[in-house]
Structure 1
Amino acid sequence: MTLPHSPNGHAARTVCLFTGTLAAFAGAERATATLANALAARGHRVHVLSLWGHTPVFPLAPAVAHHAMFAERVAFKHHYIAIVRQVRRYVREHAIDVMIDVDPMLALYTVPATLGLPLRRIAWEHSTYASDLGRRARRWARALAARRYDAVVVLTDADRDAWRTHHPHAHARFVTLPNPLGLPIPDVPPEPRSEQGILAVGRLVPEKGFDRLIDAWARIACDAPGWQVRIVGDGPLRDALLTQADQAGVANSVQVLPAVADVAQHYARAAIYCLPSRRESFGLVLLEAKAYAVPVVAYAADAGPRALLHDEVDSLVVDDGDIDGLAGALRRLIGNASLRRRLGLAGYAHAKDFGADAIAARWEALWAERASTLERAR
C-alpha cells in the first residue's frame, strides 16, 4: 500500500506522543505540545495520549487529537494493567504508525501494550542520563527502551554518548535532537528594552536555583536602582523565595509571578535573562530568551546549557555555584547596554536553528530513515 505524503514530501504517518500529562507548566510538556503542532502542520495525523489531565495548559492545534486516561494524577502502579490495556486499545483503534514516549519510563507501559503491533517505537529523553532520580524502575525502563525501541532521542551529544556507554548492545539508535522552540521567533530582532528587568523562568524547585539568583541580586541591587528581578513559575518554593528576598532586603525589587502559557510577554519585556539552575538537562528557556534577543547570564550547569551557550558571544557563562561571579556578570550587563545588544543579537541568530518546523523535519527524517533501514533488512 502506498501511503499519502505530507506537503513536505515524506509519507504522512499517524503519530502518537505518549506522555504523563499536558496539564502542567513544564519544559517537557511545552516541547510535547510544540512538536505535536509542528508535525500536524507538516501533514501528519497526530495524537497526544496522556496518563492524566484532560485540559492541556499549552495550546494544541485543532488537527491534534488529545486524550487523557485519568482526570487527575493517580497511583499508576495500582492501575498498571488497565493502563496497558487502554494504550493497546488506543494504538489499535487509531492505527498508530509511530509511538513516541515522551519519557523512557513510559516504556514500562508501551512495550507490553504494543507487543506484536506493526509500529515504530521511539523514546524521548528529557533528563540527563545521570538523573535517574534514584529510581530502579527508571533504570529498568531505560534498558527496556534501549533493547526494544527503534530509537532513543536525547537532547545533547553528551547524553547520547552516555546512553551508548551504558547500553553497548542496544537495538535502538541513540540520536541527538534538541527540543523545538515553542515560541514563534520574531521576524526581526526586537528593539532594546526600555524596562530594566532581569527575567528567570521555570518551576519553583531547588534544581532551578532561583535562591542563588536572589543571593546574587542582593549583592548588587543597591548599585542598580530601578532594576527588577522577575521570577516566573509555579511550585513549592514560592513562599520561601519571597521570604528570602525580604530577609535579604530586596523584596521591593524581586517579583515571583505565576506561570502563564503566553510566556513570550515576559521575554518581550526583559533586558537580561538569568539561568541560575543547579541542574538543567537542556534549557529551552535559553532558546526562548534568545529568540527575543535577550542576553543571557547563566551557570554552566549540565550538558544542555553548556551546549546552548557561547560565552562572550551570546551570553556570559559563570562557574557553577559562584554567587559573586553571577552577581558580577549581572552587574556587567546592567551597566553596558551595547554589550546587552551585541549578545542579544547573536542569540537571536542562534535561536533560528531551533524553530519548530526545522526540528519536526528532523523527527520526520528519523522515522523515515529507520523505515528505509528496516525495509532493506527485509
Structure 2
Amino acid sequence: MTAARDLFLVANTTDELGGVTAWTHQMARLFRSAGHRVHVIGVHESDLKMAVPEAPDYPVTALYATHPPTPRPLRGVRRFSVPARRRESRRIAAKKQAVARLDALLGPAPAGSVVVVTQVWPMEWLREIDTSHLKVIGMSHESFAYSRACHRYHWVKRHYPHVDRWLALTREDADLWTAEGLDNVDVMPNALAHLPAIPSPRTDKVVASIGRLADQKGVDMLLDTWAKVAPLRADWQLHVYGAGADEPQLRSQCAELGLDGSVKWQGRTDDVPAALAASSVFVQSSRGEGFPLALMEAMASAVPCAAFDCAPGVREIVRDGEDGLLAPVGDIDALADRLLRLTGNPRMRDAMGERARVNVQRFSEERVLEMWEDLFALLER
C-alpha cells in the first residue's frame, strides 16, 4: 500500500480540447484511485472545451477566466503610448492576483507534497511563489524536436533546471535534453486510458483520424494523402473527428481536391471508443507529437495505424511492420502507400490490429502508476 500524498497537477488549462487535458484528468482519476489527494490547476479556462467524461471527485481551479494577455515590452514609441501602458499595468495586476491564488493553493500544502507541471508555461507563475516545501516535477508532452523548433525550448531551458525532476516521454528525448545540459531529466510515458472489452470488428471500410484541426495535427497533409488513396479505394471513407480553428480552410481544401464524397467531417467526439469501433484503420498525420493518446487508443481497439514517424513517442508506441506502419514525416506518398496497404489487405489489417491490441498494453495504467509511485518514493529520499 502506497502512502497517500497531496498531488497538484498544474496545466495550461483544465478544460481545453486536446490530449494534454485528457491526460491530466486521466492521471488525476488514476492518482485518486490510488488514494492520493489531487487538485487540478490550470492557468486559464479555455474557449474550445473538452467534455470531461465524468464529474471529477477532486477540485479543479483556473487562475484566470480567459487566456492572460501576452507580455509586450514597452519599447520605442510604445513607451509613450498611454493605452499600451494601461494594458501592461492591467496585465501585471492580473498576474499578481493569479500568483496570489496559486500561492494560496500551494502554500498551505504539507511538506513533501508534489506539484506536477504538465506543460512548461505554468512555470511562469509557479516560480514566483515559494515552493521550497514541495517536490516539483516538470513535464513536456511533445518531442524534443518539436520543442526545439519553437519558443518552448527556451522556456524549458529557463525553468526546468530548477525543478526536482523533469520528465520526457521517451528515453530518446530524455537523452537529447540531457545533452543540452539538463541533469535532472527522467522518462515517463503516457498511460493507456482504456482497453475496450470488445475490439473493433474492422468490418467498416472507414479510415479514422482523431485530433484537433490545427497545424500540428497535419490534417492538410492527410487530405493531400487521401487524394492519392481515394481513387484506388472508391468503397472506403475517411472520417475526420475533431474541431479547431483550421476547419474552414481544411473543408475548402477538401472540396478543391474533390474529396467531399469520401471524406466525412464528424466534428469533435466525446466517445472515442465508439468512433474507433466503427473504423478499420487509424491514420495520424501529425507534424509533431509527444506520446499520442489517440494512437494508443486506436491500437487498444485493435485498429491498425498508419502514421508519420514524427516523434520518438510514435515509434515507441508503434512497432513498424509488426502492429502498424510508419512513414517518414511529411512524406505524403509514403503515407498513402501505408494506407493503401492496410485498406487493401484484410489479412494484414487483422493481424496487425490484433498484435496492436496486445502490444499497447505494456503502457497500461497499472504499469505507469507503478512508475509514478517509484518516482514519488525516490523524491522523498
TM-score for the superposition, normalised by structure 1: 0.88
CA drift at 1:360: 2.3
Cross-structure match for 2:78: none
Alignment-mate amino acid for residue 12 of structure 2: G
> Aligned match of 2:272 in 263, 266, 271?
263
Alignment-mate amino acid for residue 102 of structure 2: V
Alignment-mate amino acid for residue 265 of structure 1: A
- Partner of 1:324, secondary structure, is helix
> Aligned match of 2:172 in 138, 158, 164?
158
Is the aligned partner of 1:201 residue 2:210?
yes
Is the aligned partner of 1:25 residue 2:20?
no
Alignment-mate amino acid for residue 163 of structure 1: W
CA distances 1:93-147 after superposition (whole Å, capped 9, x unpaired): 454711111112222221221344x111000111223315643x7624533322x
> Aligned match of 2:242 in 216, 230, 233?
233
Percent identity of the aligned residues? 28
Cross-structure match for 2:127: 111
Cross-structure match for 1:290: 299
CA distances 1:255-312 after superposition (whole Å, capped 9, x unpaired): 2222222222211111000111121222221101101000011111122212222111
Contact 1:151 1:175 in 2 (8 A): yes
Matched length: 356
> Aligned match of 2:326 in 307, 310, 317?
317
Cross-structure match for 1:88: 103
Q: Distance in 2 between matches of 1:210 and 1:335?
A: 22
Contact 1:107 1:141 in 2 (8 A): no
Contact 1:22 1:57 in 2 (8 A): no
CA drift at 1:208: 1.4
Is the aligned partner of 1:124 residue 2:124?
no
Alignment-mate amino acid for residue 119 of structure 1: L
Question: 355-364 or 152-161: which moved more?
Answer: 355-364
> Aligned match of 1:16 in 3, 8, 11?
8
Q: Distance in 2 between matches of 1:238 and 1:244?
A: 10
Q: Distance in 1 between matches of 2:361 and 2:128?
A: 39
Alignment-mate amino acid for residue 166 of structure 2: V
Q: Distance in 1 between matches of 2:302 and 2:156?
A: 39
Contact 2:10 2:118 in 1 (8 A): yes
Is the aligned partner of 1:181 residue 2:192?
yes
Is the aligned partner of 1:75 residue 2:86?
no
- Tell me: CA distance 1:59–1:192, structure 2 relative to 1, closer, same or farther (3 Å): closer
Is the aligned partner of 1:49 residue 2:59?
no
Where does the alignment leave 5 or more consecutive residues of structure 2 unmatched? 72-90
Question: 352-361 or 326-335: which moved more?
Answer: 352-361
Contact 2:24 2:118 in 1 (8 A): yes
Contact 2:64 2:98 in 1 (8 A): no
Q: Distance in 1 between matches of 2:293 and 2:215?
A: 18
> Aligned match of 2:373 in 357, 360, 364?
364
Alignment-mate amino acid for residue 181 of structure 2: H
- Tell me: CA distance 1:272–1:120, structure 2 relative to 1, closer, same or farther (3 Å): same
- Tell me: CA distance 1:56–1:251, structure 2 relative to 1, closer, same or farther (3 Å): closer
Q: Distance in 1 between matches of 2:358 and 2:249?
A: 37
Q: Distance in 1 between matches of 2:150 and 2:338?
A: 34
Question: 12-21 or 47-56: which moved more?
Answer: 47-56
Contact 1:37 1:61 in 2 (8 A): no
- What root-mean-square deviation, in Å, do the aligned CA atoms of Structure 1 and Structure 2 show? 2.0
- Partner of 1:273, secondary structure, is strand
- Partner of 1:46, secondary structure, is strand
- Partner of 1:294, secondary structure, is coil
